[in-house]
Structure 1
Amino acid sequence: MDFNMKKLASDAGIFFTRAVQFTEEKFGQAEKTELDAHFENLLARADSTKNWTERILRQTEVLLQPNPSARVEEFLYEKLDRKVPSRVTNGELLAQYMAEAASELGPGTPYGKTLIKVSEAEKRLGAAERDFIHTASLSFLTPLRNFLEGDWKTISKERRLLQNRRLDLDACKARLKKAKAAEAKATTVPDFQETRPRNYILSASASALWNDEVDKAEQELRVAQTEFDRQAEVTRLLLEGISSTHVNHLRCLHEFVKSQTTYYAQCYRHMLDLQKQLGSSQGTIFPGTFVGTTEPASPPLSSTSPTTTAATMPVAPTGAGLAPPEETALCLEEVAPPASGTRKARVLYDYEAADSSELALLADELITVYSLPGMDPDWLIGERGNKKGKVPVTYLELLS
């Protein structure tokens, strides 16, 4: 018990001495031992590495898991050393909704068939995303966390010890300086007057006392200097190890880019396959509008503003500009509209004629259209004044 009390008292005394030294340095009342320029550069480099590693880590976590609540939940599971529950990705959840919608709305309808195809593609995208998250977490996030929770904590601990050793060293320097000043004052030779023989005796006694104080302060200073130099060397070696940390993080960054490249390549391949599947069923998804149909052609989902017309324009019917053999020989100037079956149509989008057999269209204009025997159902003959030519039905709204 006595030993513990003495140790506590000693620790309290050391803490108080360091606090006094630190406070006096802040107010400019005490000298401070400065580190060399190379050491200061190592400290600044280490702090920058730590700060930017934290930022990159947080933003990568946001990239891999945009949901803040999910990130907090995963963080708590990791801190409790429990297995993080498997989570359905957004793509997989969308695929599930689309499959259920197709089942309810009719899997045999064009819309239902398309929902099923898109659902399968989204499911593959979700699986690719899951693999990317897992790979990126292991190859990139884990090394960054290990640095912050391992190496950086060790560096921070040694830096705090170095700061304490420096405060102890400067406190010893201050004590030695005060002891030497008191010794010089005590050894001042007094005048030998008969009325002051006692002062000389007291001065000699004080001089001997302060000599002992100076010797003690010098010994403490040597010990403090040795401990400071040893701690500075340990800290310097750890700070120089930041270069190895950069090399390790560089390798991890290459692994992250590789996994991200693989992920986007898989996404591109899956979407390209989906686009081919949907393109092969254009006739089913967008059935042609015949002359006798009273419903207009289905417009695209997005707006038809001038700035988005090109992006939202429907795909021209297969074989645009390539007329069937029986139509190739057809001379449009000799074609006469049938006695019945002509009707008006409003143009939905601009259309540029592919060749002289087609009629260029401008959005919102009215033209006369009709069909000829043997024509492709995706095309009609359109007339505007004395001009005529083939026009795609998906660009028209037939008026009753």
Structure 2
Amino acid sequence: MRYTDSDSISAPLLDDRANVEGNAVKTESTVISNNSAMLKRKKYLIILLCLSIFGSFLGIIHLVSTAPEFNQYRILRAYQNQIEEEATRANSQRPRTILFWNSFFNNKRWGLDEDTVGPDYFRDNLRCHEYRCDLTNNRDFLPDIELFDAVLFHAAEPYPFLQSVPSKRAAQQHYVFALMEPPGETKHVLSDEGNFYNLTMSYRLDSDIVWPYQVIEDIETGEAVAPAVHTKWRTVPGDWNDTSVWQLWAGKTRMAAWFVSHCETLSKREKLAAALQEHIDVDIYGKCGNLSCPYTSNECDELLDTRYKFYFSFENSLCNDYVTEKLYNAMKRNVIPVVFGGADYSRFVPPNSVIDAEDYQNAEELAAYLRYLATHPEEYMRYFWWRQYYRLSYRSPYCDLCEKLHSVPFMQKSQTYTNIEKWWMGDQCRFEAKIKF
């Protein structure tokens, strides 16, 4: 093929033009790319500048907010809050202190083993859930009487003649009205003691701290079922055979026994016993009867197991919730208790475990039912069904008191019995029994 001169000249020119145009495109692309990078850098610089300014602003605010010359009140409050928190934390760990102000029927220790007991005793002996407490009859246990968290006053006997009550008292100190006797045995003019007590500790179920002689526990759950205002008992089985009682049945040839030394009472229980004696045999041991047995031995209790079918657990007063050891001691034996008192016994013991005299119109009707049970051993045995499901136990009221003294909501609560006489004596006891005798 032959090339002309024009062909040979035009080809390089085209190549050069293409190169120039390509370079121009490349240059424009490079400029655009460079401009984009510069814009990004500017954005970053602006962002960094803003962050730096904002950080400096925050730093200035922090310096101003912490500068003592601007915030002396806030710094003071923060320090006080810190001190209060540390004090609260330390206070929550310290043992609470409880003082016996007077004796419990000539027992200065109120039945405890020593004059002063501490957290170990609460945990190991009393088996309290909350055990961080000290209990003492020593008024010098703390440097000042105001430092005790609670002071217990046994109101069933007079307070000491000298310094009958503490000479000074802290605002948060709890004064506890404590006793196990009914209102008729209170040795105080309570009208003079208004606005004195903060807490009550007694047998009554509406006390701040209930102080029962015994409690009924569910064997399966370990829960304390009674005494309580509302109780939920298991269903009484249709029939029941208690082997231990059956084995003793042949020797139970005597009808009823009563151990008593207080012969004239507000409840007139002695007259009820005399009325029953007109219909059944009742053996009375002690100062009020003509029989005796060694009080300090187990012989009296063993007599109930081996010779008697019934035991009279008669209270000296007909008062709300007043149920004493007379009932629980009998329940520990293989004998049916016959109770006479002012309590609703369904709040204290399982159904069909005792015979309540107040369920009968008169002494003759009650005696007739006792004779029926004495000649129908299968019915007699049903009164012991509860032993398969429940047991008698003891829980110290000091556990409850110790727990309350460690409770923040309780300690923040403020209460005072303005009229302790009305609370303790008003509409609590009656002088006439429902059963006629």
TM class, shorter-length? under 0.3
> Structure 2 length normalisation: TM-score?
0.19
Instruction: State the structure with bigger RCO (CA 8 A, min sep 6), 1 or 2.
Output: 2
